[in-house]
Structure 1
Amino acid sequence: MLILPLMAVVITGCLNHSWNKPKQPEKDFHRMEARSGRPVIWLMVDSLMAPGMDQGMKKGELPALSFLIRNGIYQKEAVNVFPTMSVSIDASLLTGEYPDRHGVPGLIWYDTKEQRLVNYGTGLMEVVRGGVNPALMDTARNLNQQHLNREAKTLYEELGERGFTTGNVNGMIYRGHTDHTLTFQKWISATTALPERMNVKGPDFLALGAFANPLKGLRSLPDSVASSFGMNNRYSVETAKVLAKKNRLPDFMFVYLPDLDKPIHAEGPGKSEMKELKKLDRQIGELMNSFGSWEEALKHAVWIVSGDSGSTPVLASNEDPVVPLDRLLGDFELLEAGKTPGEKTEVVLAVNERSAFVYSLKEDIRLEWLAESLQKDRRIDVIAWSDPEGWIHVRNAALGEKEMRYRKGDEWTDVYGQRWQLDGDPDVLDLAVQPRGGRLSYGDFPDALARLEASLHSHPGRFLIVNARPGYELADKHSPTHKGGAGHGSLHRIDSVFPVVIAGTDRRPKHWRIVDFKPFVLELLESGKKKPDIKEPAQM
């Protein structure tokens, strides 16, 4: 969860302050109503993966998820965007765009205009070293109000313009047309750059833990310091339950459930994952019971339960799983954490767990040179960069000297109908090509051509992308690591696919990609839109 590493910094000052919940000006609850025939409830479960679900269902330990799957469809390998980080993935879900259109490149990236690293909350030490206040403001304000491209409309914006109501519980991408106020305790605003009140635009109903709680006075929710300021499953589910029981669900409700992410990162898939999955299943069951029964829940709403990315197990510390990019590029002058680039600064690193952006600030330092320094390490796989002619150059360190390049063209058509021109060895991206029909399909790197191209055009700058092989992760000097646990962020299939369960409708998205779900939700709601009451003309 983006805000948690940031607020952890603030919590250190909490021991000397009582946690008096700030007064909430939000009145969202009283204006809520669904205007479609049946609302769409999207439960976004951070780090939910199909293997864990399958294991739990086989043992009969996940009855709620099993019920939804029996009465719907279960797609185990929907494809997200790159890098496989929650903030970029959620932005793509809610805008229907790749990062080149929505403008949120990753969890951490370099802003060439402001000459600084933008960090939405990678890890405590990296946030502290890079600057707490910029990270707090980037997460609380800039992400939605500045960085998210205004031309990429969110579901909240577009549905509002079509006359539908929308809601968001704990999702960090929330931009809409309705005015809201985020409220922070006085001691927080006194010790950080956060003001006591921050005006933002969001959906009709916006609940963001302790900072925007529209149910204040109606229901006690777990939003204390000990409960991660409300950024937890129980807060999210209890909020949705109140709306369901009071018949005040909006037409589209996005509910973010973060609790599974922490044990996955710490220990990898396994016992802790299953323990959290069983809790999650009970919470989903409770939410469906808010309609009277699980059967009634399906009659009255469309249910979508999904993950956002996979997580790759990271080898134990004695197997050298962390690739120190700062050492591999030790011949260059690297930007130090929290510093502004100086005249001598040559390279900037922005590490998104198992992938990274590597920026060259000097025209005389070619991206190919950086790639050559990186591909010497056996733990690296895909490296990519673009050139002024529109070609994307790709190398795979695991395959030695092999290289390919590609760009949009008419030579090859992939499984999504996207058309490309290729030159070089397609094995670099594990592409299967059929010369007779001009078709290509993806192997270990799903939708790789579009995802890499979008990432390389997601923000200004001269940079390359580097990925770690399965079992490994990348790091700068102060990056968080997950030795013996799990991480994501890379282009590899393990990180790039996530499960989706859809129940309560026979409709399906055009393709099983994260960018295809926005038009799917729009179609769902338009098809079930209530027809306005037509009054008979008055008799003359």
Structure 2
Amino acid sequence: MILLRIISWLIWIVVLLMICSGCYGSEVKPKEDDLLHVKSKTGHPSKKVILILVDSVMYQAIDKGIQQQKLPTLKYLIDHGQYYKDLVSSFPTMSVTIDSSLMTGTYPNEHRVPGLIWYSKKENKVINYGTGPMEILKHGVDPVLSNAMIHLNGDHLNAQTLTIYEQLKKEGLKAGSINGLIYRGTVEHTLSIPEWMRGPTSLPAEVIVKGPDFLSLGSLSNPLEGLKKMPDTLMRRMGFNNEFAVESVKYLVHNNKLPDFLYVYLPDLDQELHKKGPSVIDGVIKIDSQLQSILNAFGSPEKALDEAIIMIVGDSGQSGILPDGKHPVVDLPHILHNYSILRPGAEATKATDIVLAVNETMAYVYKLNTKDSLKHIANILKKETRIDLISWKENGWIHVVQSGTSKEFKYKPNGKITDAYGQSWTLGNNPEVLDLHINKHQNTLQYREYPDALKRLYGALNSHEGNFLVVSAKQGYELSGQSSPTHKGGGGHGSLHRMESLVPLIISGTNEKPDHARIVDLKSYILRLLTKSLGK
């Protein structure tokens, strides 16, 4: 799930509520002075780094478009740089978790953002950042907006885990974010909440947040207000669109205002793939043209790569979801009908047995007051053949059950077996449950169907408090709660599968390579690029 869909659904719902309540009003515009402070003061000779995240872009679509000679800009960047088709995403493969990993260089066991929807034992409620229109209505527009706009960066993202913006500030470098979901930094900014949005919520007119030196968040925080006409109207999703982001980058380039590091989020492609499936490339062709306009803003593509390191990255892939007639939706409440399941928007009580938090093709299943063990609940779920894996932690071990079979695998950190990322593990029997290839002579393992599965699964199971299962669907299927959105015949993500976990990475303007091809390693790589000339 991505910011575009959150904002689109919230606008749709809030406008309906606004019409019903007769609440209208003009928007309050922010008065930001980001442009006075954004240019680097260090004067060091490193190139600028521009990281452009294209939501849900897949290497298959890039390769197909290049083969058809429809992606000249991406081909140019690949021909003049590095091209990785196997960058490993975070888990669950949902934007809030992935972006948290990207910006902190950690998995959820450290950054503490478990998914797009999850249950907080501390607050005794479900945290929802904007899963779908029906769930937003049931959970309440007010808490969903507050979670997405205030608490995600302010409270939920672990304060002890530094973001790249906070770390760059320590190095005396400047940074910027354009429509980034995770933006926590050290500089105060004001989000101006329009009156039509405040009407059905408890949000104040202004919200003070901390971000990088330059923070652009659609019309909520637009440092270019009054300087450049931007596509940030209500009909243009308040600036949460590709054109807004691209025009912002071009302005910074034209006016010599690029910070040392700039993160740019392009959201439009994800919505198209959810509707039409992952094989469609029309959206990628449009993005190629938008990228070309950014390169041209420097004067030419050659000059762009002389002055900046440009990185294009995806966040998650998508699996094709089978059409309606193939029964692609796994109804978890139906499978667990013998338990008292928390209704969306309700508060858990002593009578609540189970809480469901469905993240498309992955779900957290929380055990609250039932006396049944997690393994007992897993045994019920594993009878459903459309479910792929069910896992939980117990006595220091991670347990993984393969649906449709009696095979169970367990493992824990530290041991004699080492993976390609230098992580060591102690493994139990049946490692084929996670499709692990073990070399007993060298004490090494290789990941196949589930990239970096041991660490990513460990990260999700240790991402927050509570007794819970992690459940994922087989490819072609998705999980459903009581009102979670479905994508029959379209695309979905969330699980550990290769198709949803491997994303493309293009790096142009440097020959330096990242240590590992994982999203979680990009932060340290970018810091190395920017601080190398400082002797650090």
Q: TM-score, normalised by structure 2?
A: 0.96
Q: Does 1:276 align with 2:283?
A: yes
Aligned to 1:333: 340
CA RMSD of aligned residues (A): 1.4
The separation in 2 between residues aligned to 1:529 and 1:19, in whole angstroms, is 50
For the 8 Å contact 1:136–1:193, the answer to whether it is kept is no
Shift of 1:437: 1.0
The separation in 2 between residues aligned to 1:74 and 1:237, in whole angstroms, is 22
Q: Does 1:306 align with 2:313?
A: yes
The separation in 2 between residues aligned to 1:326 and 1:300, in whole angstroms, is 54
What secondary structure is seen at the aligned counterpart in 2 of 1:211?
A: coil
Which of 410, 419, 423 is the aligned partner of 1:405?
410
Aligned to 1:320: 327
Map residues 399-478 of structure 1 onto 2, 5 A cutoff. Answer: 400-478=405-483
Shift of 1:30: 2.4
Which of 91, 96, 112 is the aligned partner of 1:87?
96
Structure 1: unaligned runs, 5 residues or longer? 532-540
Deviation per CA, 1:303-361: give whole Å up to 9, x if none: 00010000000000000000000111111110011111122110000000000000000
Aligned to 2:397: 391
For the 8 Å contact 2:53–2:264, the answer to whether it is kept is yes
Aligned to 2:200: 191
Deviation per CA, 1:475-533: give whole Å up to 9, x if none: 001000000000000011111110000000011110001111111000000124499xx
The separation in 2 between residues aligned to 1:409 and 1:251, in whole angstroms, is 38
Letter of the structure 2 residue corresponding to residue 259 of structure 1: D
Aligned to 2:35: 29
What secondary structure is seen at the aligned counterpart in 1 of 2:358?
A: strand
Which of 455, 476, 487 is the aligned partner of 1:482?
487
Map residues 204-283 of structure 1 onto 2, 5 A cutoff. Answer: 204-270=213-279, 273-283=280-290
Q: Does 1:71 align with 2:80?
A: yes
Deviation per CA, 1:224-248: give whole Å up to 9, x if none: 1110111000000000110011010
Deviation per CA, 1:406-437: give whole Å up to 9, x if none: 00122211111110001110110000001111
For the 8 Å contact 1:19–1:224, the answer to whether it is kept is no
Deviates more, 1:190-199 or 1:513-522: 190-199
For the 8 Å contact 1:21–1:210, the answer to whether it is kept is no
Which of 480, 500, 505 is the aligned partner of 2:505?
500
Letter of the structure 2 residue corresponding to residue 215 of structure 1: L
Aligned to 1:537: none
Deviates more, 1:15-24 or 1:465-474: 15-24
Shift of 1:132: 1.3
Cα 1:14–1:339 change in 2 (3 A) is closer
Cα 1:20–1:275 change in 2 (3 A) is farther
Aligned to 1:535: none
Letter of the structure 2 residue corresponding to residue 205 of structure 1: F
The separation in 2 between residues aligned to 1:187 and 1:296, in whole angstroms, is 44
Shift of 1:24: 1.4
Which of 522, 525, 530 is the aligned partner of 1:520?
525
Shift of 1:6: 2.4
Shift of 1:20: 3.7
What secondary structure is seen at the aligned counterpart in 1 of 2:219?
A: helix
Deviation per CA, 1:102-121: give whole Å up to 9, x if none: 01000000000111100011
Q: Does 1:292 align with 2:299?
A: yes
The separation in 1 between residues aligned to 2:197 and 2:55, in whole angstroms, is 27
Which of 33, 42, 53 is the aligned partner of 2:51?
42
The separation in 1 between residues aligned to 2:389 and 2:416, in whole angstroms, is 23
What secondary structure is seen at the aligned counterpart in 2 of 1:445?
A: coil
Deviation per CA, 1:360-410: give whole Å up to 9, x if none: 0026221011101111111011110001x2100001114x00111000122
Q: Does 1:371 align with 2:378?
A: yes
Deviates more, 1:93-102 or 1:19-28: 19-28
The separation in 2 between residues aligned to 1:14 and 1:499, in whole angstroms, is 41
For the 8 Å contact 1:412–1:420, the answer to whether it is kept is yes
Shift of 1:100: 0.4
Q: TM-score, normalised by structure 1?
A: 0.96
Letter of the structure 2 residue corresponding to residue 44 of structure 1: L
For the 8 Å contact 1:19–1:225, the answer to whether it is kept is no
For the 8 Å contact 2:54–2:313, the answer to whether it is kept is yes
Cα 1:66–1:48 change in 2 (3 A) is same
Aligned length: 527
- Runs of 4+ in structure 1 off by over 4 angstroms are 13-19
For the 8 Å contact 1:11–1:225, the answer to whether it is kept is no
For the 8 Å contact 1:26–1:213, the answer to whether it is kept is yes
Letter of the structure 2 residue corresponding to residue 25 of structure 1: K
For the 8 Å contact 1:268–1:486, the answer to whether it is kept is yes
For the 8 Å contact 1:391–1:406, the answer to whether it is kept is yes
The separation in 2 between residues aligned to 1:411 and 1:300, in whole angstroms, is 46
The separation in 2 between residues aligned to 1:106 and 1:436, in whole angstroms, is 38
Letter of the structure 2 residue corresponding to residue 403 of structure 1: E
Structure 1 vs Structure 2: percent identity of aligned residues? Answer: 44
Deviation per CA, 1:154-191: give whole Å up to 9, x if none: 00000011100000000110000000000011232232
Shift of 1:29: 1.6
The separation in 1 between residues aligned to 2:30 and 2:414, in whole angstroms, is 53
Q: Does 1:361 align with 2:368?
A: yes
The separation in 2 between residues aligned to 1:159 and 1:459, in whole angstroms, is 27
Shift of 1:14: 5.4
What secondary structure is seen at the aligned counterpart in 2 of 1:143?
A: helix
For the 8 Å contact 2:320–2:476, the answer to whether it is kept is yes
Map residues 123-202 of structure 1 onto 2, 5 A cutoff. Answer: 123-202=132-211
Q: Does 1:110 align with 2:119?
A: yes
Shift of 1:31: 1.9
Aligned to 2:106: 97
For the 8 Å contact 1:44–1:308, the answer to whether it is kept is yes
The separation in 2 between residues aligned to 1:208 and 1:465, in whole angstroms, is 32
What secondary structure is seen at the aligned counterpart in 1 of 2:135?
A: helix
Deviates more, 1:411-420 or 1:174-183: 411-420
